[in-house]
Amino acid sequence: MSASVAVGLIGAGWIGRFHGESVALRIPGTRLVAVADPVPGAAASLIERVSPDARAYTDALALIADPNVEAVLISTPAPTHTDLVVAAAEAGKHVFCEKPMALTLADADRAIDACATNNVALQVGFNRRFAADFAAAHDVITSGGIGTPQLLRSLTRDPGITADVAARVKPWTIFNETLIHDFDALLWLNPGARVVEVFAQADALIHPQYKEQGYLDTSMVQLRFDNGALASAEANFQATYGYDVRGEVFGSGGMVSAGEVTRTAMRHYSSPGILADTPRVNIELFHDAYVAQLAHFADCIRSGAAPSVDGLDARNALEIALAAKESVETGLPVSLLSVRR
């Protein structure tokens, strides 16, 4: 394998384009050699901007079969992830997959097993772990800086969703694709602990007209860990003030927090009051974290090290998401033993 990792990108949508740009332009030692997207012209448009020598495909399997591709970066719609992970692994390609890696535990196991059997790296896109403030908070916790975690909190508030977009949101997206970040963060910030009980409530408060088709945009989830700690995870799709992602862990010896609502420390003081800029999109708030996670993936391929966030981490977060779905459906707390099968 060359010192420069040859990456093929599957999915040239919003986040896929950013990842492709990072591989081609932002991360030393990586090359974007191929892009696949079923939308005519989507792959070629990205290639033309960032990597003119790369190959364009409309068929993901054709990209996976390309002998010039050493690693595959999957940023397609969630239901396609598992099959693409398995196909890439069986072709001997290392895999970076956007969350969620799977939508069922059986599919999660299938993806994990395929990568293990074929001895390829598998990393999942939980970018919060690579954000400097969240990583620093994790280091404080693992070094004993707050004692034993007792109360944890994680929240995701997206900056807005229009009615036409809400109409296309798949059922349970708030758990499978939004709060799954918070579930992973809470597991990571309570090292070694497992969630044993989940109670979730959710509703469509922003666009209630789509609730009957399974759309949900507001949720609160309570978690109980096997080490006695309690946690909450909340999400809302319309924070009018900007993109808001934060975390907090209170322990027996102190507290640590991560996440900042404002873009910078600048404050504008004038007659209307105090004003501060806020980030409005994910690639602004987590720009450096998105790049860092892919740099880590490339480093793991070159060194042979295991990625720090893998398929098992994705499975652990997914089982919480599935329990949250069941809790909303039944109105009752759900033991994780009921979904660990």
- Each residue's pLDDT, cut to its tens digit, for the chain (341 residues) gives 457 999 999 999 999 999 999 999 999 999 999 999 999 999 999 999 999 999 999 999 999 999 999 999 999 999 999 999 999 999 999 999 999 999 999 999 999 999 999 999 999 999 999 999 999 999 999 999 999 999 999 999 999 999 999 999 999 999 999 999 999 999 999 999 999 999 999 999 999 999 999 999 999 999 999 999 999 999 999 999 999 999 999 999 999 999 989 988 899 999 999 999 999 989 899 999 999 999 999 999 999 999 999 999 999 999 999 999 999 999 999 999 755 55
The full DSSP string for 285-299 is: HTHHHHHHHHHHHHH
Nearest CA among 314, 291, 292 for reference residue 78: 314
What token pair was written down for 101? 């890696």
Coil, strand or helix at 338: helix
Nearest CA among 309, 193, 157, 189 for reference residue 257: 189
What token pair was written down for 21? 């740009």
Maximum C-alpha span of the chain: 65
Q: What is the pLDDT of residue 337?
A: 78
For the full predicted model, state whether its pTM sits above 0.85: yes
Is the dihedral angle over the CA atoms 11, 12, 15, 20 positive or is it negative?
positive
Residue with tokens 């799709």: 237
Nearest CA among 293, 286, 266, 289 for reference residue 277: 266
